[in-house]
């Protein structure tokens, strides 16, 4: 299995060195050089799969938006537990949030989750981000193509947007996983989304369907 390419972006060398020591020993992670301008350049050949961004920087949200817009998966580190940055970073497009007391295993697990297209963030932070960014109630009716969905497809959409995996969704609806996948394929085509991440974000009002902003991602909520 190939390693996840990870870049660390911070204005503080001490921070970068500390995070490097945390993740460098794990065989699933390969650290590569991370430079802001090179990262934002989508034509750059050697780009990381995941970027660990120092949340203590003054321009962290602007930087987060810029890097996410270039297609990178961002985890914001060193976030204060009681501060507003966590929710704001999710709205800006971050895929992961790690507090200042994060352990090495937390960082490694977050990298693995984000690499798979999942979100690594506490439930209350995601709820706060929804509350701050949603323009409509999370009923899905504002999604482009909603009216073209069948009753079963709407049911599958609701469960998928709540974070259920295909097997869990199949068990809930007493159908096969293959049927779930078929329904999701039809839903993607009708509403203009390309992944569970986009679908969930659109359903909950974080981002509209039929566009591809960096905030779209599958909402895998953590306890």
Give the closest residue to 113 by CA, choosing from 173, 16, 29, 31: 29
Mean pLDDT of the chain: 79
Please list, residue by residue across 135-169, b when 16 or more beta carbons sit within 10 angstroms of its beta carbon and e when fewer do.
eeebebebbebbeebeeebbebbebbbbbbebeeb
Q: What is the pLDDT of residue 110?
A: 92
Assign a CATH topology to domain 135-203. Arc Repressor Mutant, subunit A (1.10.10)
Quote the pLDDT of residue 54.
Answer: 92
**1.10.10.60, 2.40.128.110, 3.40.50.2300, 1.10.10.970: CATH of 4-132:** 3.40.50.2300
Instruction: Indicate the pTM of the whole model.
Output: 0.61
Residue among 70, 78, 93, 87 at smallest CA distance from 122: 87
List, by residue range, all CATH 1.10.10.10 domains of the chain.
Answer: 135-203
pLDDT of 215: 36
**What's the longest Cα–Cα distance across the chain?**
55
Q: What confidence tens digit (pLDDT) does each residue in 171-195 have? A: 888 999 999 999 998 988 888 877 7
Pinpoint the residues of the chain covered by CATH 3.40.50.2300.
Answer: 4-132
pLDDT at position 55 is 92
Q: What is the pLDDT of residue 136?
A: 45
pLDDT value of position 137: 45
Which uninterrupted H or E stretch holds 97?
A: strand 96-99
In a structure prediction context, what are the per-residue pLDDT tens digits for the chain, which is 223 residues long? 578 888 898 888 888 888 888 888 787 888 887 777 767 666 666 788 899 999 988 889 988 888 887 888 999 998 887 788 998 998 888 999 999 888 889 999 999 989 888 889 888 888 788 777 654 444 566 676 777 888 899 889 888 877 778 888 898 889 999 999 999 989 888 888 777 777 777 776 655 444 443 333 333 333 2
CA distance 154 to 100: 40
pLDDT given for residue 220 in this prediction:
37
For 11, other C-beta atoms within 10 Å of its C-beta total 12
């Amino acid at each position: 299995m190939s390693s996840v390419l990870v870049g660390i972006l911070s204005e503080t060398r001490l921070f970068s060195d500390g995070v490097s020591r945390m993740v460098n020993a794990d065989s699933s992670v390969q650290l590569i050089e991370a430079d802001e301008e090179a990262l934002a350049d989508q034509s750059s050949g050697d780009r990381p799969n995941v970027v660990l961004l120092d949340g203590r920087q003054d321009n962290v949200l602007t930087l987060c938006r810029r890097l996410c817009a270039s297609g990178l998966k961002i985890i914001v580190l060193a976030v204060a537990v009681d501060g507003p940055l966590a929710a704001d970073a999710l709205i800006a497009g971050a895929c992961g949030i790690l507090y200042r007391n994060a352990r090495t295993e937390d960082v490694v697990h977050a990298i693995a989750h984000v690499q798979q297209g999942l979100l690594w963030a506490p439930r209350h932070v995601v709820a706060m981000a929804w509350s701050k960014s949603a323009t409509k109630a999370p009923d899905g009716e504002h999604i482009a193509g909603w009216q073209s969905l069948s009753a079963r497809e709407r049911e599958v959409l609701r469960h998928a947007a709540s974070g259920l995996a295909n097997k869990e969704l199949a068990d809930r609806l007493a159908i096969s996983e293959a049927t779930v996948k078929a329904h999701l394929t039809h839903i993607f085509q009708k509403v203009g989304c390309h992944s569970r991440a986009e679908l969930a974000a659109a359903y909950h009002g974080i981002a509209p369907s039929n566009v591809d902003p960096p905030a779209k991602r599958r909402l895998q909520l953590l306890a």
